[in-house]
Amino acid sequence: MKLLLIGYGNVGKAFRRLLHEKKDNYPILQGVEIAGIITRQGLMVGDKENFSPDKQLTVLEAIDYINPDVIVDMSVPNYKDGEPSVSAYIKALSRKIHVITVNKAPLALKFREIFEVAEKTGAKIGFQGTVMSGTPSINLFRIQPVAEVSRIRGILNGTTNYILTRIYEGLSFNEALKEAKEKGYAEEDPTLDLNGFDAAAKLTILSNFIMNRSLKLGDFKFKGITEITNEEIRRAKSEGKKIKLIAYADNYVVQVSPQIIGPQDPLYYIDGVENALEIQNEIQRIIIRGPGAGPINAAYGALSDLVLLLEGCL
């Protein structure tokens, strides 16, 4: 099975390392090879740790050149139009090349269009890594079949949850943001985390997949944490409560917004960069929590998808 990796940043490197580490012990991975890695600098043919482009090709050209069995998208989300990933997925899936992605933008922008192509050809899409990274979220629904989900609620963005936690503990917003950057929990430009955009992208993907919606980013309201004052957080604290950025979807409402929640709410205890997802279906309510980010975690999400694909379980 030939892989073409798109993007070779921290997640791509972690994925390559993890794949090599695991290959010896897991027979199912032994036929897997990285046939090429494409970045904005071009295509590197074959599997080498240090990237240097062999050919000046675009992503679409690289698919023709490599003719992979699977493309693994580890590139940074482009929320303007999802390109070049959207076109790459369409091209790949229409040729029955499978897609595994940790890149949220294409599925948050063109979920139905992409899945329609996959359904036509029978190609599979693995996207565990787009939501909560390596903590089972998307794939959790694969093992909970035939039960209608009526509500999901979660803390899906680690950056904002870390900042809210640190303000609760006494820092100012700016101190908390600075610390989050220093620890690698916030990017240099944290806008898409802070304004709720990242959480909204994840909620879009989850709602479309689980609740059979046809949402695109922008179809519902989202609000981030930038308008919350330290004073509001302290007041909530003095009443025994916390402010959390909650992603919520039921059959009527889809939204991301800060909520004041108390200790009777399981999400009250999700602090720092941890993520959590609460799922209510017709049978039961379950909650899963775990790390929602980190290059190794995202790589593990993608590798889990690869194994499920090889097992015929995507």
Q: Does 259 bind a copy of itself (CB under 8 A)?
A: no
Q: Which is nearer to a copy of itself, 260 or 287 (CB)?
A: 287
Q: Which of 134, 154, 190, 258 binds a copy of itself (CB under 8 A)?
A: 134
Please choose, out of 40-48, 88-96, 171-179, 292-300, the segment that lies near a copy of itself by the rule CB under 8 A: 292-300
Q: Which is nearer to a copy of itself, 65 or 115 (CB)?
A: 115
Exposure string (b/e) for 247-258, b if CB count within 10 Å is 16 or more?
Answer: bbbeeeebbbbb
Residue 122 burial (C-beta neighbours within 10 Å; 0-12, 13-18, 19+): exposed
314 vs 309: CA distance, rounded Å:
5
Q: Which is nearer to a copy of itself, 230 or 281 (CB)?
A: 281
Of 4, 15, 6, nearest to 295 by C-alpha is 15
Please choose, out of 189-197, 217-225, 226-234, 281-289, the segment that lies near a copy of itself by the rule CB under 8 A: 281-289
229 vs 300: CA distance, rounded Å:
36
Q: Which of 2, 10, 17, 26 binds a copy of itself (CB under 8 A)?
A: 26
Q: Which is nearer to a copy of itself, 174 or 251 (CB)?
A: 251
278 vs 280: CA distance, rounded Å:
7
- Give, as ranges, the residues between 139 and 178 that touch a copy of itself (CB under 8 A): 139-140, 142-147
Radius of gyration of the chain (CA): 20
Q: Is 216 a catalytic residue?
A: no
Report DSSP letters for 77-106, one per residue: P-TTT-TTHHHHHHHHHHTT-EEEE--HHH
Please choose, out of 18-26, 56-64, 109-117, 186-194, the segment that lies near a copy of itself by the rule CB under 8 A: 18-26
> Strand ranges (DSSP E) for the chain?
2-6, 33-39, 42-45, 70-73, 98-101, 125-126, 149-155, 242-250, 254-261, 274-281, 285-291
Answer yes or no: are the C-beta atoms of 205 and 138 closer than 8 Å: yes
Please choose, out of 33-41, 59-67, 112-120, 302-310, the segment that lies near a copy of itself by the rule CB under 8 A: 302-310
The count of C-alpha atoms lying within 13 angstroms of the C-alpha of 175, restricted to the half-sphere facing its C-beta, is 9
Per-residue binder mask for a copy of itself (CB under 8 A), 39-78, x = binder: ----------------------------------------
Q: How far is the CB of 279 from a copy of itself (least distance, A)?
A: 9
Q: Does 272 bind a copy of itself (CB under 8 A)?
A: no
Q: Give the footprint of a copy of itself on this chain (CB under 8 A).
A: 22, 25-26, 29, 128, 134-136, 139-140, 142-147, 266, 269, 283-291, 296-297, 300, 303-304, 307-308, 311-313
